[in-house]
Amino acid sequence: MYNWKIVLPALLLVAFGIVQGNVQIAMELTLYAAFYVAGLYKKEYALYLLALSFPFLTYRPLMFFLLVLIFLLLLNGVDMQRVKQVLTSKVFVAAALFILAVGITAVTSVNLRESLTQYVLYYIPSLLLLVVIMLLIDSRQVLYRFLLCFIISGALISVYGLAQYFLLDSMPSKWVDRETNPLLDKRVYATFGNPNIFSQFLLLVLPLSFVLIYYVRDFRQKCLVAVLFGLTALALLLTFSRGAWIAAALAFVLILLKLDRKLILTGMVLLVVAVLFDLIPDVIKQRVASIADPFEDTSGQWRLQAWLSALAIIRDYWLTGIGMDTTTFNRVYVDYQMPEVNVFHFHNIWIQSFVTGGILGIGTLLFLYYRLIKESFKAAVNRLQTRLSIWGTGLFASLCGIGVAGMTEDVFRDYRVMMAFWLVAAVIGVLEIILRQECRKNEAA
């Protein structure tokens, strides 16, 4: 039982919030206190609360939650055996190499102060989040509950986005091209402020939500999980993000090839029926038709011209990159940009990484992605751990989906999507450790 001195910070947070007389501040500080107390009772509860509230958190509460999780680990005593397992995992090594490469890019940037600020604010916490999650998820039960909370959070933010879509009359014109898509006047963006960014977060959650239907055994639970999946899928559809649609389609095909191949044929038949009987809304048909020629509208043309500029920058700065800070990017890009194509990033994670970090940046990112793909695939095809293989399939599909989406968007541009990516990476690391332990037990037996 913890003494009053340890619980006191939670009480002070609530009291300070009330004294401020500001409802928003009071609610935020009460949330902090609740998270802290939940973690004191059982540290896994704080982990679940993080997963459950993840898409609703802004940077400040997200960092507070991370610091509390670190405090709880130190308070309860660190299991050095678990630390060794985490630090020697292949996922951690690949992640640390990538974060180190980004750090080198930051240090060698012309604008050192701005680069280091971005590095400390976003990349260091990302690595800490990976390590903390891998340390805290030390059993299959904790793994299941954590992923369940993450899936529920995706459904909750989807409900928010759907309410937004059906209640708002319109949205800023910068997210739609009414010349090529005259029927499109609204797109879901929820708390992310951008439909494309929101779709990236949903891409990480949706495959996990889908495989959960196969993971649970009770029929009533399957129905409830199907509702969670349906809400998330509908929100992704209404983002009208073409890149996300393509990525999601690929993710579902990969899942069904492993879990239920017959459902692929069923889906194709249903799609044909929907087309023949004109059951698909015109706004969706119009958006899908634009995929055949994505560079016909302004956003596609804009990306293509920006990528051509990026290739010219890579040609001149292929070894070291230009640095990761925005100021340096703007100064360099102006010498290469196409007329009237003003961008602050290249809407492509692979090109962006090559431009900012050179060979080292793109090389470590590709190695990280290769390692995550390989470890999730190994979990997916594991025949001895069939239950874990279901999660492995979902994680593999999530990575493939976000990798494809990264061809049209810089998925590390938004800190919540970036940290959701590291959350998924951490779970893959947990699976790697569990399967390694099972392999050693089998060898010992």
92 and 69 both lie in a single domain:
no
Contact 305, 346 (CB under 8 A): no
Q: Residue 253's domain spans which residues? A: 80-444
182 and 236 both lie in a single domain:
yes
Residues 266-273, mean pLDDT to the nearest whole number: 90
Each residue of 83-111: pLDDT tens digit? 999 999 999 999 999 999 999 988 888 78
What are all long-range contacts of 220-229, with beta carbons under 8 Å and residues at least 24 apart?
Answer: 225/151, 227/155, 228/151, 228/152, 228/154, 228/155, 229/155
- Tell me the pLDDT of the chain averaged across its residues: 88
272 and 136 both lie in a single domain:
yes
Can you tell me the distance from the alpha carbon of 345 to that of 323, in angstroms, rounded to the nearest whole number? 12
Instruction: Give percent above pLDDT 70 in the chain.
Output: 89
What's at 46, amino acid-wise? A
Last residue of a domain, one of 43, 75, 107: 75
298 and 393 both lie in a single domain:
yes
129 and 68 both lie in a single domain:
no
206 and 71 both lie in a single domain:
no
**Whole-number pLDDT of residue 445:** 59
Can you tell me the distance from the alpha carbon of 100 to that of 77, in angstroms, rounded to the nearest whole number? 27
11 and 141 both lie in a single domain:
no
Each residue of 351-404: pLDDT tens digit? 999 999 999 999 999 999 999 999 999 999 998 888 999 999 999 999 999 999
Last residue of a domain, one of 26, 48, 75: 75
Residue 179 clears pLDDT 70, i.e. is over it? no
245 and 390 both lie in a single domain:
yes
Contact 416, 370 (CB under 8 A): no
Query: pLDDT-derived band of residue 293, with 50, 70 and 90 as boundaries?
Result: low
- Residue 35 token pair: 């998270």
303 and 407 both lie in a single domain:
yes
Contacts of 173 (CB under 8 A, 6+ apart): none
Each residue of 24-72: pLDDT tens digit? 677 777 778 888 888 888 889 999 999 999 999 889 989 989 998 998 8
Each residue of 337-349: pLDDT tens digit? 887 777 778 889 9
Residues 418-428, mean pLDDT to the nearest whole number: 97
95 and 131 both lie in a single domain:
yes
328 and 430 both lie in a single domain:
yes
Domain count, the chain: 2
Highest mean pLDDT among 263-267, 332-336, 432-436: 432-436
Last residue of a domain, one of 30, 53, 75: 75
**Whole-number pLDDT of residue 334:** 86
> DSSP letters along 10-63, please?
HHHHHHHHHHHT-HHHHHHHHHHHHHHHHHHH-HHHHHHHHHHHGGG--HHHHH
41 and 55 both lie in a single domain:
yes
